[in-house]
Amino acid sequence: MNEYKVDDVRNVALVGHGAVGKTTVADLMLFQSGATSRLGSVDEGTSLLDTDEEEIDHRISIASTLVHFDYGGHHINLIDTPGYPDFIGQVSGALRAVETALILLNAGHGVEINALRVSKMAQEAGIARMIVLNKCDADNIDYETLLNSVRDTFGSQCIPINLPVGLGADFNAVYDLVKKTTASDSDVLGDPAETRQALIEAIIESNEALLERFFEGEEISPVELSRNIPKAMAAGTLIPVLFMSAKTGVGVAEFMDAMSNYTLCPQDIQRIEQTKDGRSVMLDPSPDQPFVAQVIKTRIDPFISKMSYLRVFSGKLNKDSSVVNVRTGKPVRINQLLDVQGGKQESVDEVSVGDIFAVAKVDDLKLGDTLAADANGDGLSLPEIKFPHPVVGLAVEPKSQNDQQKISGALHKIEEEDQTFHVIHDEETHEMVMQGMSELHLKIVQERLLHRDKVEVITHLPKVPYRETIMGSAEGSYRHKKQSGGAGQFAEVHLKVSAMPQDVNPEEYFTKDNFDHLRSFHYDPEMNFAFIDRISGGSIPNQFIPAVEKGVLEKMKQGVIAGCQVQNLICEVFFGKDHPVDSNETAFKIAGSKCFAELFAKSRPVLMEPIVKIEILIPEENVGDISSDLSSRRGRMEGMAVSPGGYEIIQARVPLAEIMTYARTLSSLTGGRGTYDIELSHYEMIPPNEQGKIIELLNNARE
């Protein structure tokens, strides 16, 4: 597959906001490089990258797509990624596979929010960045304003390596600051001399020898500057900025030259592996080292089943070879290696460092898995790939009973492909809930279920998983007695229930000093519940104590006042009676359940609601509107932070029930320029004025 030396390979990802022209640019590069004989079009549904039915229908990229081409003596592996925040999970895997992120911006719109997010992701991934200002033929573009917004957002390291000759309808060429191509200074926007000086300083900052020569007054040649741009990008002293228009073709050749000559090769970035004992080891990106690769994408193809995309970070691999899945420790047989070009695959005999390839029908592979040669005896693995948390949920069920068996498998396939999509079988609300990044994300999932698996579904907002607990304590007894001709049932239990103190260490708290006659205790951290055995004198035989606990636990999971799981309490069994003939486990389980329910109702029961921690990224002019809206949702502001490019980050805690449809509100208040992330924080008591209404609604729903 790889006929090139490692230093001739370039792995790049096209990232940015939606509708900036990433897929159009990728189609154009394939055509200009001669990799394809026709120019694909997103608008006409003929793009060589957007090949899924949902992508063609919506005219947007939904999944990342791998293509490759040769240009300028280099082999370019290009991953085109979706631009809408709804599908940002696809960017995470792509950034792990590359050395350079090409951040496309719409020059007419400036810096949009997803560009800010993906740039931060690239920075955290430790890869180089290049800013490409597309659509420079758009109207009403001000050069200084545009460049200042780029620098304010991405940093002062953002320096043009070419300058536009005109903008809007007058955009007709670009002036190369490295090679100093011919152009009248009066036609070039910006200050060529000043910008070139800043560019030279950014390039030589990472090279001590060049820096010394520069300060001695020696001129640095264009060849030396070109050669050192990748080093400056790797060091973070330079983020090149380019101007172009994919529509008119102006600046496209210069962009492709820059991508070929300036983006990093696999040996320009040092990757870190982790040993089993947690040590970090530097990975040697050489074809002569043991094989190491990582799964960066999973795709369920309707024709060839599961496909796993891998990036090779070290060594070589031949087809019909065995490697080890470090996660499982088991050998994996790789019978076929696939070279991927958009929606097409072709078998190859070998892959090497820098290659991105696919394998089919290897079911045990998961996204993020490290594959290594047997020689990798330490079980070295690459760091896990981090994905954003899903923030929107919908309860889902098949429209037809005939699809009941198919729906779980169909959803699981999508879950394997998309790490920002989760399916939860909520035992508390008895619902299947699918979680994603937005309503659009979940809408696309439903379309995929219908197109690929022929499963039609019904969705609705999921129930809020409320919890029950108590504020006081009570003790009492319950006698279960039943006679029905033959052997009867008899059990009597005496229990005490009380609220669990905050921040309890079970081993230190549940001792004989705090509980008389304590024999044993069981603690459930998930429910924050302790069952304590304080029986003395054998008033309840030992064999029946587990049955009492089982009865209590079953009732806790069923709920008492509103059908919601109970948590945060202590239940003590301290006395009881049995019958030599009629007592059995069933009788004591029933007695435990009934006694617990009666005492719970006497212990000042309350309803608790889930509180989520929310972090919202918004333009600074929307802070007031968002703050007011959060207050109306019973939210509590906890902090604010300035983010680059005129954005603010708001941190707050809000009841989950209040933000079930928050994505719509945020989009409305910010004009689609806000994003947010949530995670469960804790449970707390619902305000008294809301308790009764919610309990009534929950009980009516159960009837």
* Number of domains, the chain: 5
CA distance 416 to 298: 7
CA distance 79 to 271: 19
Same domain, 631 and 698: yes
CA distance 444 to 665: 20
Residue 214 lies in a domain: no
Residue 175 lies in a domain: yes
Same domain, 39 and 181: yes
Same domain, 497 and 438: no
Spell out a b/e string for 201-218, using b for 16 or more CB atoms within 10 Å of the CB, else e: ebbbbbbeebeeebeeee
Same domain, 47 and 109: yes
Same domain, 124 and 242: yes
CA angle 324, 330, 336 (to 5 degrees): 55
- Predicted local confidence at residue 299, as pLDDT: 92
Same domain, 694 and 648: yes
Spell out a b/e string for 284-298, using b for 16 or more CB atoms within 10 Å of the CB, else e: bbebebbbbbbbbbb
- Predicted local confidence at residue 554, as pLDDT: 96
Token pair 């983020």 in the structure block, residue: 239
- Predicted local confidence at residue 697, as pLDDT: 87
**The dihedral of CA 385, 390, 395, 400: what is its sign?**
negative
Last residue of a domain, one of 418, 439, 460: 460
Same domain, 493 and 575: yes
- Predicted local confidence at residue 212, as pLDDT: 86
Same domain, 284 and 353: yes
Per the CB < 8 A criterion, the answer to whether 438 and 85 are in contact is yes
- Predicted local confidence at residue 387, as pLDDT: 92
Residue 210 lies in a domain: no
Residue 199 lies in a domain: no
Could you list the residue range(s) of the whole structural domain that residue 616 is in? 610-702
Residue 342 lies in a domain: yes
pLDDT digits (tens, 9 = 90+) for 554-593: 999 999 999 999 999 999 999 999 999 899 999 999 999 9
Same domain, 557 and 515: yes
- Predicted local confidence at residue 654, as pLDDT: 96
Last residue of a domain, one of 428, 460, 492: 460
CA distance 648 to 658: 22
DSSP notation for 420-440: T-EEEEETTTTEEEEEESSHH
Residue 220 lies in a domain: no
Same domain, 318 and 419: no
What CATH number should be reported for the domain holding residue 558? Answer: 3.30.230.10
Same domain, 276 and 264: no
Q: Which stretches in the chain have pLDDT values below 70?
A: 1-2, 181-186, 303-304, 375-379, 485, 703
- Predicted local confidence at residue 638, as pLDDT: 95
**The dihedral of CA 590, 591, 592, 596: what is its sign?**
positive
- Predicted local confidence at residue 71, as pLDDT: 96
Last residue of a domain, one of 437, 460, 483: 460
Structure tokens at 251: 């600046």
CA distance 136 to 245: 5
What CATH number should be reported for the domain holding residue 399? Answer: 3.30.70.870
What CATH number should be reported for the domain holding residue 28? Answer: 3.40.50.300
CA distance 398 to 83: 31
Residue 300 lies in a domain: yes
Same domain, 96 and 163: yes
Residue 203 lies in a domain: no
End-to-end CA distance of the chain: 64
